Each structure stands twice: as C-alpha cells, then as structure tokens.
C-alpha cells in the first residue's frame, strides 16, 4: 500500500509568485517582434521550457528564427527576467509555504523541487528556502520538458522514493500530466477547472495538515 514518503514541488506559481515577472519578460520580448502576448496566451507557457515558450510566442506572429537567433532571444529574456527578480525575498513566497515545508521537515517527509526553470536554485536562495530541499531538479538537469515526467522521476530517484509514495504539487496542466504519467499522486494548486486532470486540487497550502496529506493515499 502506498504511503506518504516525499513531496515534490513545482516552483513558479506553487511556492513563489514569479509568474508576473515571467509575463513581463515574455511580454516585452514579444513586442520586439510586434507580437502582443495576452494573459490568456501567457497561461499556456506555464511549466514550459524557455525555448519552447519562445517558439510558442514566435508562432503567434508567424515568425521563424534560426537556432542561433532562438538561443540569443532566450538569453535576452532570461537576462531581463533576472533583472526583474533581483530584489526577490521571502515576501514572494505564497501563503503557508514555510508552514508546509516545516511540517514536512518535522515529520521526516522528504522534500524535492521539480521545475522547468533554469533559475530555480537562484530563486530558492533568494527566498531563503533552499535548505528545505534534499533534491532540486530544474531545466538545467533534464532533456525532456513537461508534460514528460523526467523532472519528477529524477527527483524521486534522488530522494530514493517510489513515485507512488510521492505527492507532486503543480499549477500547470502540463505538470499535472507529467506527474500522472510518472505514477505520482498529483495535486493541482490553483483553478480546479483548469487543472481538472489532477487527482486532487487545492487553492493553496492554507489549512493543509499532515493528516490531510496522508489521506490522499487512501
């Protein structure tokens, strides 16, 4: 029978409020190509790699770039994003994140991060939560981006747990699909209609207890 041994968290939109910075950086870049990136289209970039996000935006305007140009504009976006988040601190953490991380740590539940962001280690340090994580797998560590489960499977391997004994918290449908495909217990954080493929849904971490987490395995 499965039991709670570990939790793996996505980063953007689950632990920290960085979505607004990503949107600003992508929006500004899109305007360089006379493309208007709406908030609706930006939602489709959740959990998507930097390269694939750029290609999605370019497709909106019917633009085609060489591989060198794609790499260049990815770096332009990332430089702008890093400027935007340079002043980040623990105030950017979403509600009850510290409490839930303390709860898991105090009960010897292993903690991992599985994020498409290549800046994940930097953000963990800026928000002062890096010390909670026994495993950090980010965009630098994987070949396949979500909805492929590689990022979560690598995390489970590093934590030495079976996916069936691990909860994945995600705010994107691609992340939920990745968790489900990998055999994890998926929990959607955010809109349950948007994340309707998740095994369970929560608005945020407020009110979550060890008992409620363990009950997900019943």
H/E segment holding residue 167:
strand 166-170
Is 10 a known active-site residue? yes
Kindly name the residue from 10, 17, 171, 191 that is annotated as catalytic: 10
Is 28 a known active-site residue? no
In angstroms, the CA 39 to CA 1 distance is 42
Q: Cβ(73)–Cβ(54) under 8 Å? A: yes
Q: Cβ(180)–Cβ(186) under 8 Å? A: yes
Kindly name the residue from 12, 68, 141, 162 that is annotated as catalytic: 12
- Count Cβ atoms below 10 Å from residue 125 Cβ, excluding itself: 12
Show the DSSP H helices in the chain as ranges. Answer: 19-32, 39-43, 50-60, 67-84, 97-106, 120-126, 150-159, 173-181, 210-214
- Count Cβ atoms below 10 Å from residue 198 Cβ, excluding itself: 25
Indicate which residues carry an active-site annotation: 10, 12
């Amino acid at each position: 029978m499965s039991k709670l041994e570990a939790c793996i968290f996505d980063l953007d939109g689950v632990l920290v409020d960085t979505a607004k910075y990503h949107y600003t950086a992508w929006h500004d870049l899109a305007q360089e190509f006379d493309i208007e990136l709406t908030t609706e289209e930006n939602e489709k970039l959740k959990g998507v790699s930097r390269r694939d996000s750029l290609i999605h935006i370019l497709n909106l305007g019917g633009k085609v770039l060489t591989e060198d140009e794609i790499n260049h504009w990815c770096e332009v976006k990332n430089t702008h994003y890093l400027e935007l988040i340079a002043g980040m601190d623990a105030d950017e953490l979403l509600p009850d994140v510290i409490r839930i991380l303390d709860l898991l740590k105090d009960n010897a539940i292993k903690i991992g991060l599985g994020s498409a962001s290549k800046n994940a280690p930097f953000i963990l340090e800026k928000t002062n939560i890096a010390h909670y994580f026994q495993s950090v797998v980010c965009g630098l560590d994987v070949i396949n981006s979500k909805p492929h489960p590689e990022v979560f499977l690598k995390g489970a391997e590093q934590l030495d747990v079976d996916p069936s004994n691990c909860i994945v918290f995600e705010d994107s449908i691609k992340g939920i699909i990745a968790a489900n495909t990998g055999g994890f217990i998926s929990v959607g954080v955010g809109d349950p209609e948007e994340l309707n493929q998740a095994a369970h849904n929560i608005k945020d971490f407020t009110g979550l207890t060890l008992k409620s987490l363990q009950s997900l395995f019943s």
